[in-house]
Homo-oligomer: A and B are copies of this chain.
Amino acid sequence: MQQDSKYVIGVDLGGQTAKIGLVRSDGYIAGRRVIRTDNYGREALAFIKDLAFEIKDLLLNCGEPVIQGVGMGAPNGNYFTGCIENAPNIQWASDTSVPIAQLLSAELGGLSVTLTNDANAAAMGEMEYGAARGMKDFIVITLGTGLGSGIVCNGHLVYGHDGLAGELGHVCVKEGGRKCGCGKKGCLEAYASATGVAVTAAEMLRKSDEPSPLRQKAVITSKDVCEAAQEGDALSQRVFDYTGEILGKALANFVAFSSPEAIILFGGLTQAGELLRAPVVKAMEDNLMNIWKGKIKVLFSPLSGSDAAILGASALAWNND
């Protein structure tokens, strides 16, 4: 045991990339790497070997500090088992259970590896460094390729009976609605995510002849929609109105569950700023019970890029000794 080590590795593993950070005990990220997660087909082990290589190479380039462990946030990452379990957005884990903590540990010579849900990691980052400092009851919603959530009640992450709690992207918001990556229909994630925004934009473009700069794009991304909306494109703005309304109604239901002090929005979609937040807050307020109207804060994460997720994941490694 290296009791004096002052560094850990935090890994934010998503549908497209894994972001690796070498994190000092004061939260300073001393080095970073990014590798893709989406070009390994069904070869989980090939990805894990590449991830281990990048971690070792990062350490080599940073003067080989002694590190205490690796904390990792990943979709459907199970804190209890160390496995990524049936994660719809990761092909090599989409219909199986990948014991990534154990396998990565083996590739790293037995170094301790702790896993949790990517959104739980973000929630830990917000609690320690971000918008939730001092809060005991809050929900973090990550709006990336998918929609994740980390729920904190009375100061503790909600893991549930099996470690898989907090799949708020997969509550049903439209009966018989859009097909979701998880196999169900009408999931919140199919609407309130980068993917959902792009689909909504494509639908709106198909349904009218209204002019929009989006019509010049061969493939529309949520970033395109965000930029067009910020430049005044009415159709793109309605995409965010629609997205925000669905998300806000869902948030009202979440409030009825755990009565949080705040809901913290995090991830790429939040770059839309008030274009997204305003319809979210309106729809949430319209659907809250009277006891909560005007009382629930809807905040954007103040942490830049994926720092919250890397820092949150790294906090797992600090806590694990």
Whether, in the assembled complex, A66 has its beta carbon less than 8 Å from a beta carbon of chain B, the answer is no
Copies of the chain in the assembly: 2
Does any Cβ of B come within 8 Å of A76's Cβ?
A: yes
The answer to whether A249 and B172 touch across the interface, beta carbons within 8 angstroms, is yes
Complex partner residue of A154 from B158, B254, B257, CB under 8 angstroms: B158
Residues in B with CB closer than 8 Å to A166 are 256-257, 259
Within 8 Å of chain B (Cβ to Cβ): is A258? yes
Please determine whether A162 and B259 come into contact, CB atoms closer than 8 angstroms: yes
Known A-B contacts A158-B153, A249-B172; the reply to A257 vs B165 at CB < 8 A is yes
A248-285 contact mask (Cβ, 8 Å, vs B): 1 or 0: 01001110111111000000000000000000000000
Question: Could you tell me the dominant secondary structure of chain A's interface residues?
Answer: loop
Residue of B nearest to A182 (CB): B289
Q: Which residue of B lies closest to A257 (CB)?
A: B257
Chain A window 229-264, contacts with chain B (Cβ cutoff 8 Å), 1 for yes, 0 for no = 000000000000000000001001110111111000
For the complex formed, measure the closest distance between the CB of A165 and the CB atoms of chain B, giving whole angstroms: 4
Q: How many A residues, CB 8 Å from partner?
A: 44
Q: How far is the CA of A63 from the CA of B315 in the complex (A)?
A: 58
In the bound assembly, the distance between CA atoms of A254 and B254 in angstroms comes to 9
CB contacts (< 8 Å) of A33 on chain B: these are none
If A136-B161, A158-B258, A167-B257 are given as contacts, then 20 extra A-B residue pairs at C-beta distance below 8 Å, sorted by A number, are A76-B291, A86-B289, A135-B161, A137-B160, A154-B158, A158-B257, A161-B260, A162-B259, A164-B259, A164-B292, A165-B257, A165-B259, A166-B259, A167-B256, A167-B259, A167-B289, A168-B256, A170-B289, A182-B290, A184-B287
Q: Can you give 10 A-B contacts (C-beta < 8 A)?
A: A76-B291, A153-B165, A154-B156, A161-B260, A163-B259, A164-B259, A167-B289, A172-B252, A184-B287, A257-B257
